Amino acid sequence: MDSGGNAYVTGRTSSSNFPTATSHHVFGDSSGSFVVKLNSSGSALIYSAIIGASGSSAIAVDSSGSAYLTGGAGSTGFPIVNAFQSAFAGTDCVTYQCANAFVSKLDPAGTGLVYSTYLGGNKFDAARAIALDASGNVYLTGRTTSTTFPTRNPIQAENHGGLDENFGFDAFVAKLDALGGALVYSTYLGGDYDDSGSGIAVDSQGNAYVVGMTESPNFPIMRPFQPASGGHRDGFIVKLNPEGSAFEYSSYLGGSTDDSAGSIALDSSAKAYVTGYTFSKNFPTVNAFQASLAGGDNVFVTKIYDEMTSFVPASFFVPIVLSASGMNNSFFTSELTLTNRGPKDAEVEFTYTAAFGGGSGKVSDTLQAGHQRVIPDAIAYLKSLGIPIPESGNRGGTLAVRFSDLATYSDVGVAVRTTTAEPEGRAGLAYSAVPIWNLLTGPSFLCGLRQNATDRSNVAIQNAGTEADGDISLRLTVYSGDPAAPFVKILPDEKLSPGAFKQFSGILQSGGSTLANGYVRVERVSGTAPYYAYGVVNDQVNSDGSFVPPLYASDKLPGVYLTLPVVLETHAFTTEVVLTNVSGTPKTLNCSYVFAPSNRVAGSFTIELNAGEQSIIPNFVQYLRDRGVADVGPPGPNYVGTLRAQIANGDVNEVFLGARTSTPRDGGRYGVFYTGQAFFTSANSAWIYGLQQNSENRTNLAIVNTNDSASSHFDIDIFDGETGLKLKTVEDLAVNPSGWMQINRFLDQYAPGIRQGYVRVRRRQGALFFITYAVINDGAAPGERTGDGALISSLP
């Protein structure tokens, strides 16, 4: 609308009798974008015009009454006038029709084009929104699949693509000068999955504000109020400086399912107002008129302040660090690994809340840029910084870790490995600190628990909130995993103060139960603070532990596919598989086992799970053999492969898939536990922190190519954690379709002499997702010490 109240409308038409005004002009083909100007009462057309071979998505009007259209245009019949890009560039489309974005400016009378130009690359591009500044510069956003989209002074110079190698898209942001003849700046905007811009606004200083949709877990983030994706698809909001050279801020906006930001407007103080849609029950709300989802999809309206210095830095929650005795003469200590791969030194604040032994407090330290610190004893380290932890005795508690002065939240990581001494070395378990945005608010399940002659199970719960969040109460319900012997026991509610920790030892034997196979539901019944919960399965002989993370039960993850990266049977190791149906209806899993490295499918088979059933299969390869699955022959040769499962009548929030790969030793078993991956954190690149190679430890690194039709090739950048220096790049490692590849003693092979480091795994060729992880084994080489493993997951 202009200052006189006249309305301007645009869209697309192929009608031969499209309504026309007395002043009607056709530019190029007779079908395409239309623009009409209506008088202030809406009773008459002032002018109408057609911009041929195009489809307009947005319109803006300047103070003189000139109209600006943008959208997507075809290869022929589009009018070119005073163009920045006069030629159509879409040449590489096979399964779909190419298009380029366009911008056309009409004079105030609608009788002529001031300029009309393409803006696009070799595939498909379309602008979705347009804004103007007071000088007549044009700001655009949309989406592009092109690898040659025109860029100038880009923040992101390359299209990171999406799920489809041919049609994966990134958002773009571009500024065109007032004459339409030159780009001021133009940049891709996105992560490894699909991203699209849908709204744009500009303030009086020339800062551009862009909103849209992202499916990328590694969307570029800067000073965010929500630093991580809430689920499958989130909205985003980005503010670029006037030069387009840097983000002022960039943030996710969304909950656990599908959300998208569609439009944005600014007030005179440059506060942003964003609207869109959400399917998420936990969409972030503040001072809400309607605080809960009413069903299906709802509209949202969000007001965002520009004072980004108050936004949350990278904060993590560690559910337990300890120095304490356990059963069977075990004594556990926690090794703490802190990583800062960013370009700036990071201030690190620790808040320790004692669960036993006393000595809570808050202290700070500095972690240099590029450095990684492996701290053998977290309790001793915290005490050395000034927390009043007793000198001896059993000591343990939760730990909140807060990094500040970061370039971006994804520059840092925190992980823990808790182990006990054994006659031949050490054994235990590993777990990553939980980013505060991944903490629990809805119900969760702890699966794979058992109590028998060889294993025992404990469960622990924590209030992960701050003092301002207050107390919470959690309710635990114990379920039998055997449908033939149903059992449900609700335990008394547990009230937890901020940072508090509570462990239930031998939980399947509590409350009068004598279960051998079961799982636990955890639910917050009062309070608003987030919580966390985990399970541990310990070997009865050597106390080796398997860390069992929670299954989110409140639509946290979308999808129906789960992948276990490795399931094996060798002369030394076997893989146990756990399948749990926490729902009230039977589930069917359509499965396949793919041999590595040949990528040959051993056979497809189904697994049926009754409502509430938990199946613990001690040797999964033997289970396949017993079922007569093709190509699984008699014991003897090594069987190594990937297990894939499709939930035919449910989703990944209802079924738990986990594995424990172990070897017998010292009268018990040593092994490593891992879960099926539902929403992969890796696509084009991933980071793995905390690799070690010394007299007591070695690290193996593995990659799984989830593309079943083509090989993928990878580069691995290696960084020395003690100096922050990049040492080398291992180039062009090929992984077959659906293949699994493990590199044993990775640092010893490719960076001999360094004691600890971190790596970035980059896909250089291929499509779809990949999974990568590392395992720290006790012993510098196979056969040394216990060989016990601790899994290190990757981060985007």
Percent of the chain with pLDDT over 90: 72
Q: What is the distance of C-alpha 710 from the center of its chain?
A: 24
Give me the pLDDT at residue 307, please: 54
For 456, phi then psi, to 5°, come to -135, 160
pLDDT of residue 678: 73
Q: Following CA atoms 291, 295, 298, 301 in sequence, which dihedral angle do they give, to the nearest 10 degrees? A: 0
pLDDT confidence of 311, banded at 50, 70, 90? Answer: very low
Q: Is the backbone of residue 329 left (phi > 0), alpha (psi -120 to 50) or beta?
A: left
Q: Compare 650 and 368 and report the one with higher pLDDT.
A: 368
For CA atoms 782, 695, 341, 311, the dihedral sign is positive
* pLDDT tens readout for residues 680-714: 555 667 899 999 999 999 999 999 988 878 899 99
Strand-pairing partners, residue 765, are 713
For residues 36 and 114, give the distance between their C-alpha atoms in angstroms, rounded to a whole number: 17
Asked if 352 and 386 count as a contact pair (C-beta separation under 8 A), the reply is no
The tokens describing 209, both together, are: 């504000």
- What is the C-alpha separation between 129 and 57, in angstroms, rounded? 7
SS3 per residue for 313-344? CEEEEEEEEEEEECCCCCEEEEEEEEEECCCC
CA dist., res. 781 & res. 111, Å (int): 79
Task: Tell me the per-residue pLDDT of 540-557, one tens digit each, with 9 for 90 and over.
Answer: 998 899 999 999 886 555
DSSP annotation of 424: T
Answer whether the bond into residue 597 is a cis peptide, omega within 30°. Answer: yes
Contact by Cβ (8 Å): 351, 467: no
Please, are residues 122 and 148 in contact by the beta-carbon 8 Å criterion?
yes
For 438, residues 6+ apart whose C-beta sits below 8 A from its C-beta are 228
Residue 610: count other Cβ atoms within 10 Å of its Cβ. Answer: 14
Contact assessment for residue 604 and residue 591, using Cβ atoms and an 8 Å cutoff: yes
CA distance 666 to 733: 37
Domains along the sequence of the chain with CATH: 314-427 (2.60.290.11), 436-552 (2.60.290.11), 561-675 (2.60.290), 685-793 (2.60.290.11)
Residue 368 · residue 340 · CB < 8 Å: yes
Eight-class DSSP state of 385? H
SS3 category, 384 = helix
> DSSP 3-state assignment of 439?
coil
pLDDT at 553: 80
- Note the pLDDT tens digit of each residue in 64-107: 999 999 999 999 999 999 999 999 999 988 878 999 999 999 99
pLDDT digits (tens, 9 = 90+) for 607-621: 999 999 999 999 999
**Radius of gyration for the alpha carbons in the chain, expressed in angstroms and rounded:** 29
For the beta sheet containing 272-278, the strands, ordered from the edge strand earlier in sequence to the opposite edge, are: 259-266, 272-278, 298-304
What's the rounded mean pLDDT across residues 153-166? 76
Q: What is the rounded CA–CA span in Å between residue 159 and residue 146?
A: 7
Q: Is the dihedral of CA 367, 372, 373, 378 positive or negative?
A: positive
pLDDT in tens, 425-476: 898 899 999 988 789 988 999 999 999 999 999 999 999 999 999 999 999 9
Summarised one tens digit per residue, pLDDT across range 263-293 is 999 998 888 999 999 998 878 887 888 888 8
The span from the CA of 51 to the CA of 39, in Å, is 21
Examine the pLDDT at 572 and tell me if it is beyond 60.
yes
Judge whether 663 and 671 are in contact, CB under 8 Å. Answer: yes
Sequence-distant (6+) residues with CB within 8 A of 588 are 606, 607, 608, 609, 647, 648, 649
Residue 228 has pLDDT above 90, yes or no: no
What is the token pair recorded at 541? Answer: 């002989």
Report the relative pairing of strands 45-52 and 24-27 from DSSP bridges.
parallel
Predicted local distance difference test score (pLDDT) of residue 404:
87
**Is 50 exceeded by the pLDDT of residue 310?**
no
Which of the four pLDDT bands, split at 50, 70 and 90, describes residue 147?
A: very high
Distance in angstroms (rounded) separating the CA atoms of residues 26 and 48: 9
Checking if the pLDDT of 252 tops 80, the result is yes
pLDDT band at 603 (very low <50, low <70, confident <90, very high): confident
* Nearby residues of 332 by Cβ (< 8 Å), 6 or more positions away: 322, 323, 324, 325, 326, 418, 419, 420, 428
Q: Which two tokens stand for residue 192?
A: 């490894």
Structure confidence at residue 763 (pLDDT)? 86
- Sheet strands (E) in 393-482: 395-404, 412-422, 425-432, 434-435, 444-450, 455-463, 472-480
Answer whether residue 405 shows pLDDT above 80. Answer: no
